[in-house]
Amino acid sequence: MNDTVIRTEDLTKSYGRRRGVVGVNLEIRRGEVFGYLGPNGAGKTTTVRTLLDFIRPTGGQASIFGLDSHRDGLAIRQRVGYLPGELVLYENMTGAEVLRYLGHLRGGVAESRVADLAARLDSDLSRPVKTLSHGNRQKIGLIAAFMHQPELLVLDEPTLGLDPLVQQAFYRLIAEAKAEGRTVFLSSHILPEVERVCDRVGIIREGKLIAVEDVAALKSRALRRLEIHFARPVPPGAFAGVAGVRDLTVEDSILRCTVMGSLDALVKAAAQFEVLNLVSHEPSLEEIFLAYYGGGDSHAA
């Protein structure tokens, strides 16, 4: 029994001098939620669109369900739900019409399923697409991806433009899909989102897959930028050598540093002084790359 749902071997796509992907090796197992994380323009969409046979690799190959992504594209698409990264719907149709059309092209989809998804995502299907905001269009795209209950969901930046409440509903849909044994491949440029919904994450930068890790391992190395404001100037020596602390600077009463992993040691060291404020920043993807992978020239883990 083959439990690999997506496998790419040295997948390469170059468009002359423009961005593409180089030598991507991925293996995604049945029932897992895999996050494909990278900044905009890193090659996420290129990878996704190669998997679905919109574009053809210039090197290597990709298979889904053990089927060749190009030769068996039809059989694959039968079993895949896809949300495009740059979703565009038919402007002069209503959401319901778009979904009915796409449902027919799949050989029919239960209307109750569409209605259920629309209710959960709070999507008004009676309005013409041209009157909808980006987020409301995205909901229709999500319904289209989920409505036929595919074995594999390929979602390119699924939460783009969704308001927080709808995002929560979307996370629940992902959790349900996982509970039902479906596989999810989603791309994102937002680390907390990937940490929240994914089991594993592949990190892509400038067309190269630089790491594939369990989200648990990633979290244990969580990187935060901290600023602690004290009531009075503090001696820098008091924080030297505290576990997990990097890039420490102390200017009068303000301490700035980066912490990897647990905050415990730093908080305990700070507790001996009077703390006025504590500010934490989520690091940008670029900072994570620099901190973890030395700027991205290292090879996949």
292 binds other proteins (CB under 8 A): no
Read off the tokens for 9: 């071997």
Whole-angstrom distance, CA of residue 293 vs CA of residue 168 = 31
C-beta of 96 vs 266, nearer to other proteins:
96
Q: CB-wise, 60 or 283, nearer to other proteins?
A: 60
Of 5, 33, 42, 52, the residue at the interface with other proteins (CB under 8 A) is 52
Supply φ then ψ for residue 219, to 5 degrees. Answer: -65, -40
Minimum Å gap between C-beta 105 and other proteins is 4
139 counts as binding other proteins under rule CB under 8 A: no
Q: How far apart are CB 185 and other proteins at their closest, in Å?
A: 14
Looking at the Cβ atoms of 29 and 70, the one nearer to other proteins is: 70
Q: How far is the CB of 300 from other proteins (least distance, A)?
A: 26
To other proteins, the closest distance from the beta carbon of 54 in angstroms equals: 5
> Are the beta carbons of 220 and 262 closer than 8 angstroms?
no
Is residue 54 close enough to count as binding other proteins by CB under 8 A?
Answer: yes
Q: Which two tokens stand for residue 98?
A: 């778009």
Is-contact 234 256, C-beta < 8 A?
no
Residue with Cβ nearer other proteins (130 or 229): 130
Under the binding rule (CB under 8 A), the answer on residue 246 touching other proteins is no
Where does this chain touch other proteins (CB under 8 A) — which range of 1-9, 23-31, 46-54, 131-139?
46-54
For residue 75 the two structure tokens come to 């059989």
Residues 228/213, Cβ–Cβ less than 8 Å: no
Q: Quickly list DSSP for the chain.
A: ---EEEEEEEEEEEETTEEEEEEEEEEEETT-EEEEE--TTSSHHHHHHHHTTSS--SEEEEEETTEETTTTHHHHHHTEEEE-TT----TTSBHHHHHHHHHHHTT---HHHHHHHHHHTT--TTSBGGG--HHHHHHHHHHHHHTT--SEEEEESTTTT--HHHHHHHHHHHHHHHHTT-EEEEEES-HHHHHHH-SEEEEEETTEEEEEEEHHHHHHT-EEEEEEEESS---GGGGTT-TTEEEEEEETTEEEEEEES--HHHHHHHTTS-EEEEEEEPPPHHHHHHHHHTTTTSPP-
Least Å distance, CB 70 to other proteins, is: 10
Please pick, from the candidates 3, 66, 71, 104, the single residue that binds other proteins as defined by CB under 8 A. 104
Among residues 11, 26, 121, 144, which is the contact residue for other proteins, using CB under 8 A?
A: 144
Binding-site member from 29, 106, 127, 256 for other proteins (CB under 8 A): 106
> How big is the site for other proteins, counted in residues (CB under 8 A)?
29
* Choice from 2, 17, 105, 241 touching other proteins (CB under 8 A): 105
- Looking at residues 62 to 101 of the shown chain, list those that interact with other proteins (rule: CB under 8 A): 74-75, 77-78, 80, 82, 84, 86-90, 92, 97, 100-101
Q: Binding of other proteins at residue 56 (CB under 8 A)?
A: yes
Q: Could you list the residues that contact other proteins (CB under 8 A)?
A: 15, 49, 52, 54-56, 74-75, 77-78, 80, 82, 84, 86-90, 92, 97, 100-102, 104-107, 141, 144
